[in-house]
Chain A
Amino acid sequence: MVHQHFSLVPELTVLENLCLGSGWRRFDRARERARMAATAERFAIDVPFDALVETLSVGERQKVEILRCLVQGPEIVVLDEPTAVLPPGEIDALLGLIRRMAETGKAILLVTHKLAEIERVADRITVLRRGRVTLQAAGREVGRKALASAIVGDAAAGIEMTAGRGSRRIVRRQSGVAVPPAALMLDGIVLLDRLGSRRVDNLTLIVAAGEIVGVAGVEGNGQSELALALSGLMPFAGGRYFVADTELTAATPAMVSAAGVGVIPEDRHALGCILGMAVDENIFLGALAEYRLGPFVNRKAMRQATGELIQRFDIRCEGPTAPFASLSGGNQQKVVLAREITLNTRRLLVAAQPTRGLDIGATRTTYGHIQSAARDGAGVLLVSSELDDLMAICDRIVVMYRGRIIGEQAAGAYDRAALGGLMAGHA
């Protein structure tokens, strides 16, 4: 098993990492080294045995991970997203290594989002969508289009099209006397992850006030990082970030909120809420300045305001002071939505996978609220891996691939096959 996230000890050498967990006898450096070197040679893996892991590049670390797996002599090797962290050149080397491993008679299970890789190395393909197998075929027989459509799905998944939104706004913008500044302007932004690889690479994007722009793409192509950076939780390594006339490139989360940006985070348990606190506390934690009497929390006003939001957003809970953890997933999401839309969203709403884990009903109301935020004049950036949903509610869809926008389509001219192709990296 080779995991997506590395499990190496950075402070130890490559050899020591390779030997971790293998036996309890005396550590015979020379013998272990010979054993490792033999395996490495067999698969033509070239790693510096005496270097500290922390000094290695991402690609080299990956090789160490794979070698560690191979020295145990497995029959089946599972690789989970092994290319997610690699730069293009290293991907080719890895795919070559995967073929070599297969040729020695090992079964390889490669979990990946990237169609090009599948095409190059896979003998058989299984597509999973929402936990179900949607395609099983021999590798070379499947065309890329068929693959893409099996991944994104063909039938609309129960989201009603709400016709005529886009056009109305465009008309308004054309007839408007003064063109308002764009709700969001990203100028060539660059985001690096902790290992230094480029997750978002020179991305430029403008979202007009009242416009809903969808960000499509296979997960792991920089969308998560984009949403984090827009909420002020990830530093920009390059480029500039404006909301209306305010520059937020180096802003803290508090400044982002103050500028009128609401964010529905992708990982709501880690970033969107505090499970151990009450519903009202979760909603107003960032706005306590307005709900205080001297040093004290104005609980009465807070409860009352929360009660109104519970009504308006149809949140099912025992009341404003119910523990947040007692709510169902859908209702927790509604609380986050209610907070971000009513308290923060004046200019821009960034929604990252807002309907993940929700049932059809909750999904529909969530999109309803997002649309009404746009009608009230906020720009909306909607990141989702559900292409159907994006096509149903967005005025425009951009496709992200390896940290860049590689294509764009406007409402009315959506072409599912073309979008699927873009998601697979074919401009």
Chain B
Amino acid sequence: MELARILRRASTSSAGAVLIALLAGLLLMAVLAPSLPNALAAFARGAFGTTYAVGASVNRAAVLALVGLGFILAFRANLTNIGGEGQLAMGGMVAAAVALKTDVAGLPFGLAIVLPALAGACAGGLWAGLAGWLRVRRGTNEVISTLLLSFIALWLVYWSVHSDALLRQPRTSATSLPESADIPNGAMIGMLVPPMHQGIVVVILLVALVHLTMTRTVWGMRLQAIGLNAASAKRAGLSIPRLTIGAMLASGALAGLAGAFMIQGEQYNLKAGFSSGYGIDGLVVGLLARGSAPTVLVFALLFGFLRSGGIGMEIGAGVPSAVVLTLQGLVILAVAGMEFLRLRQARSLP
């Protein structure tokens, strides 16, 4: 009985939900893996085994955290920005373009790094801001518009690396791939501990900044007000169009910055499909964090390490890394289910 109660209580906390999902994932691995201990060892090696593994995981987490922060910021105003993938792609593409096609690389004081990153953030912001503008002007639902804008963004990246007039590297041989040349060294973000780049520091600062913005600032309070009751907020004199577009700009800018970090901190050149689902995973991270910026960081790290571990497991133990994707799905289901239980309990209370 005691155990049942503890389980019940655990199941209604986020940590409990994640734990349950991980246990279910373990079960799945036991079925799929030729040898469970081997698989777990490979997972651990892939996720934490080496400094390299940890660094790669943290870099992943940083990208997810930025997209997740963007999501919760817009969600504060009851705007569901599911186009993180596209905003990230725009950010990466513009950052690469600025680094390659302008002379920023020679600039002093870190401007060579900062300017492309800022340009990337602006591009992501404008891409989401477009959805905000459409909503304000035409009432277009931002869920639809951000999603569709994502497809456009992904194909824009594809186009840019296939077109010689745009970012495709010079064709020096028959084998030169349709991707951009490497960005100049000056525009590459330095390392903390390779491969962990210095952008991580910025991400941590941004977590704090978004948290403060949402909880302490006038703007944050206004966003919350239009999110909770737009009619009353309007009556109180708030400008809903301005706040809507502002929230989308900021939300997209965070995702755009994530794209810039991926190019300038890890990949160093632009490939079609470089965003490879990080925007979607980041959206999931934002959803799971349920509006809390610090929690975004926690889930971003969890998903970052899961991804790396999954890749390690596929290489080292022959377990399909799709198991990790399944695991992510289970985490979402568990957290959603926990929310359902919580609501039901809250209702049954006297």
Stretch binding the partner chain, chosen from A137-145, A169-177, A288-296, A361-369: A288-296
* B217 (CB) vs chain A CBs: closest residue: A295
Binds A, one of B229-237, B248-256, B260-268: B229-237
> Given A295-B217, A295-B219 in contact, is the A274-B237 Cβ separation under 8 Å?
no
Residues of chain A within 8 A of B232, CB atoms compared? 270-274
Interface segment among B29-37, B39-47, B186-194, B220-228: the answer is B220-228
Chain A positions within 8 Å of B235 at CB level: 231-233, 253, 263, 265, 271-272
Tell me how far the C-beta of A306 lies from the nearest C-beta in chain B, rounded to whole angstroms: 14
Which residue of chain B has the shortest Cβ distance to A302 in the bound complex? Answer: B221
User: Min CB distance, B236 to chain A, in Å?
Assistant: 4
Would you call B134 an interface residue if the criterion is a C-beta within 8 Å of the partner chain's C-beta atoms? no
Indicate if B238 sits at the interface (CB-CB under 8 A).
yes
Whether, in the assembled complex, A133 has its beta carbon less than 8 Å from a beta carbon of chain B, the answer is no
Is B344's CB within 8 Å of the partner chain A? no
Contact A277 B228 (CB under 8 A): yes
Q: Please tell me if the beta carbons of A270 and B231 are within 8 angstroms of each other in the complex.
A: yes
**Chain B contacts of A281 at CB under 8 A?**
221, 225
CA A207 – CA B157 in complex, angstroms?
64
Contact A275 B218, beta carbon cutoff 8 Å: no
User: Nearest chain-A residue to B221 (Cβ)?
Assistant: A297
Shortest CB distance B238–A (Å): 7
Tell me the total A-B contact number using a CB cutoff of 8 A.
69
Could you tell me if A271 and B231 are in contact, using CB atoms closer than 8 angstroms?
Answer: yes
**Residues A257 and B221 in contact, CB atoms below 8 Å apart:** no
Would B218 and A233 count as touching, CB distance under 8 A?
no
Cβ-based interface call for A246 (8 A): no
CA distance A295 to B212 in the complex (A): 10
Given contacts A295-B217, A296-B217, A297-B218, whether A275 and B228 have CB atoms under 8 Å apart is: yes
Partner of A233, one of B216, B219, B229, B234: B234
Inter-subunit contact A285/B228 (CB<8 Å): no
A290 to chain B, nearest CB (A): 11
Q: Could you tell me which residues of chain B, from 230 to 289, have a CB within 8 Å of some CB in chain A?
A: 231-239
Given A272-B232, A277-B224, A285-B238 contact (CB < 8 Å): yes
Chain B residues with CB under 8 Å of A273's CB are: 229, 232
A128 interface hit (Cβ, 8 Å):
no
Q: A253 to chain B: which residues have CB within 8 Å?
A: 234-237
In the complex, which of the residues B216, B222, B233, B236 has the most CB atoms of chain A within 10 Å of its own CB atom? B236
Alpha-carbon gap, A286 to B237, bound state (A): 6
A97–B238 Cα gap in the complex (Å)? 48
List A contacts of B222 (CB < 8 A).
285, 288
Tell me if A's interface is mostly helix, strand, loop or mixed.
mixed
For B237, give its contact among A252, A265, A292 (CB under 8 Å). Answer: A252
- Residues of B close to A231: CB separation below 8 A: 235
Whether the Cβ atoms of B237 and A254 lie closer than 8 Å is yes
Closest chain B CB from A263 CB (angstroms): 7
Q: Which parts of B173-205 form the interface with A (CB within 8 Å)?
A: none
Contact B217 A297 (CB under 8 A): yes
Residues on B with C-beta less than 8 A from A277 are 221, 224-225, 228
Judge whether A96 is part of the interface by a CB distance below 8 angstroms. no
Nearest-neighbor residue (CB-CB) of A258 within chain B: B237
CA distance A233 to B216 in the complex (A): 29
> In the assembled complex, which residues on chain B have CB atoms less than 8 Å from the CB atom of A257?
236-237
Tell me if A276 is interfacial: C-beta within 8 Å of chain B: yes
Across-interface contacts of B219 in A (CB, < 8 A): 295
| Residues of B close to A296: CB separation below 8 A | 216-218
The answer to whether residues A285 and B233 also contact, given A276-B228, A277-B225, A297-B221 and a CB cut-off of 8 A, is yes
Interface residues of A in 215-274 (CB under 8 A from B): 231-233, 252-254, 257-258, 263, 265, 270-274
**Interfacial chain A residues near B218, Cβ < 8 Å:** 288, 292, 295-297
B217 touches A285 (CB 8 A): no
A297 touches B234 (CB 8 A): no
B190 to chain A, nearest CB (A): 30
For residue B229, which residues in chain A have a CB less than 8 angstroms away from its CB?
Answer: 270, 273-276
A31 CB, min distance to chain B CBs, angstroms: 39
A253 to B235, CA, bound (A): 5
A131 to B228, CA, bound (A): 32
In the assembled complex, the Cα of A265 lies from the Cα of B213 at a distance in Å of 31
Residues of B within 8 A of A233 (CB): 231, 234-235
Looking at the assembled complex, report how far the CB atom of B316 sits from the nearest CB atom of chain A, in whole angstroms. Answer: 48
Contact indicator per residue, chain A 273-314, by CB within 8 Å of chain B (1) or not (0):
111110001000110100010011101000000000000000
- Which of A231, A257, A258, A285 has most chain B Cβ within 10 Å? A285
A264 vs chain B, min Cβ distance (A): 11
Q: Which residues of B contact A288 (CB under 8 A)?
A: 218, 221-222
Q: Please judge, given known A-B contacts A288-B222, A292-B218, whether A274 and B228 are in contact too, CB under 8 Å.
A: yes
**Please, which residues of chain B bring their CB within 8 A of the CB of A271?**
231-232, 235
When C-beta atoms are compared, the residue in chain B nearest to A252 turns out to be B237
A292 to B217, CA, bound (A): 8
Contacts of A285 in B (CB 8 A): 221-222, 225, 233, 236, 238
With beta carbons under 8 angstroms apart, the residue of A258, A274, A292, A299 that contacts B233 is A274
CA of A147 to CA of B225, assembled, Å:
45
Beyond A231-B235, A274-B229, A285-B222, list 16 extra A-B contacts (CB 8 Å).
Answer: A232-B235, A253-B236, A254-B238, A257-B237, A271-B232, A273-B229, A276-B224, A276-B229, A277-B225, A285-B221, A286-B236, A288-B218, A292-B218, A295-B213, A296-B218, A297-B217
Chain B residues in contact with chain A, CB under 8 A? 213, 216-219, 221-222, 224-225, 228-229, 231-239
Task: Enumerate 28 A-B pairs (CB-CB under 8 Å) in ascending A order.
Answer: A232-B235, A233-B231, A252-B237, A253-B234, A253-B236, A253-B237, A254-B237, A254-B238, A271-B231, A272-B232, A272-B235, A273-B232, A274-B225, A274-B228, A274-B229, A274-B232, A274-B233, A276-B229, A277-B221, A281-B221, A285-B233, A286-B237, A286-B238, A288-B221, A292-B218, A296-B216, A296-B217, A299-B216
4 nearest A-B pairs in the assembled complex, by CB-CB distance: A254-B237, A286-B236, A276-B228, A274-B229
